[in-house]
Amino acid sequence: MKDSTIKNKKPLNKIFIFAFWIAIWQLVYFIVRQDIYVPSPISVFIRIRELVVLTAFWRSVSYSIYRVMAGIFLSIVIGLITAVISSINRYFHDLIQPLMTAIKSTPVLSFIILALIWFNSSNVPIFICFLMCYPVIWTNLLTAIHNVDKKLLEMAKVYKVNRLIVFKKIYLPSVLPYFTAACITCLGLGWKVSVAAEVLSHPRNAIGSNLYSAKVYLDSAELFAWTLVVILLSFLFELLFAKIIKKLSVRKTFRGKL
């Protein structure tokens, strides 16, 4: 009974939180009284409604989604490969560690400017997304591999357990939580850096290009509208990924019981 009551309250709590921040936004608008600095929530929502009926809006969103997903996919693949090699070979780990430190320490703007020289405008956001997400994937996966229970591995070695079973029953359960956390972090980070790269590289179809145009024309309502679109897309992708992982975990547990 209590669980059902809590579940029923969750949507109401979310609505209250949303309404609270909209009220704060409206209050700030009343204080500032300058649309160029802070547009009203109503004007922004009206602009979003005007944008969603445009073909150009969905084209820009689609291309931006592609760039973010491509960058994250590359970071996962290369991060996984290099993390496994780093866990096996100490020399490779020592060789790649300074690169990770350099990527983490260097401002994103510096990489974007360099990428503008190296790549065409459409590929710059993909490269930047990959570059910023790669250290997150590498670090989390390497930490997960190092934290695998050594006693279980020794026991599997003594009893000559099949390597595939060792991977499925020992490595995978240990690595999956770290991998999930890394991917969720990268989904938020990926949107942030990719859109920033789009603003500077200005590809033809991109959310960042529309943000730049809104800034040039001092259209604050459209600027806020596109910003809300980015936040919503980031939130939806994180939510979708979390649900997929949850379903896979439930299915795995169910099979284990059977």
pLDDT of residue 66: 93
pLDDT of residue 154: 73
First to last CA, the chain: 29
- Please name the residue that has the structure tokens 């996919």: 73
Tens of pLDDT along the chain (258 residues) come to: 455 555 555 667 778 888 888 899 889 888 888 888 888 889 999 999 999 999 999 999 999 999 999 999 999 999 999 998 988 888 998 898 888 888 888 888 899 999 999 988 889 999 999 999 999 999 999 888 888 777 777 777 776 767 777 777 777 788 888 888 888 888 888 898 999 999 988 888 899 899 999 888 888 889 999 999 999 998 888 888 877 776 665 555 445 544
Round the CA-based radius of gyration of the chain to a whole number and report it. Answer: 23
C-beta separation of 115 from 194 below 8 A: no
Residues 6 or more apart whose Cβ sits within 8 Å of residue 37: 220
pTM of the predicted model, to two decimals? 0.82
- Other C-beta atoms within 10 Å of 17: how many? 10
Domain-located, residue 5: no
Alpha-helical segments (H) within 36-167: 41-52, 55-88, 90-105, 108-118, 124-146, 150-158, 163-166
Exposure string for 232-252, b = 16+ CB within 10 A, e = fewer: ebbeebbeebeeebeeeeeee
Structure tokens at 209: 């290009």
Domain-located, residue 150: yes
Domain-located, residue 134: yes
**Phi-psi group of 218: left, alpha or beta (phi > 0 → left; psi -120 to 50 → alpha; rest → beta):** left
Domain-located, residue 25: no
Domain-located, residue 6: no
> What's the domain range around 190?
53-257
User: Which of the 8 DSSP states describes residue 119?
Assistant: S
- Please name the residue that has the structure tokens 């994937």: 137
Q: How many domains does the chain have?
A: 1
Q: At what angle do helices 207-216 and 55-88 cross, to 10 degrees?
A: 120
Say how far apart CA 121 and CA 204 lie, in whole Å: 8
* CATH number for 85: 1.10.3720.10
Structure tokens at 133: 């997400």
Domain-located, residue 133: yes
Domain-located, residue 198: yes
Domain-located, residue 101: yes
pLDDT of residue 87: 86
pLDDT of residue 258: 46
pLDDT of residue 197: 92
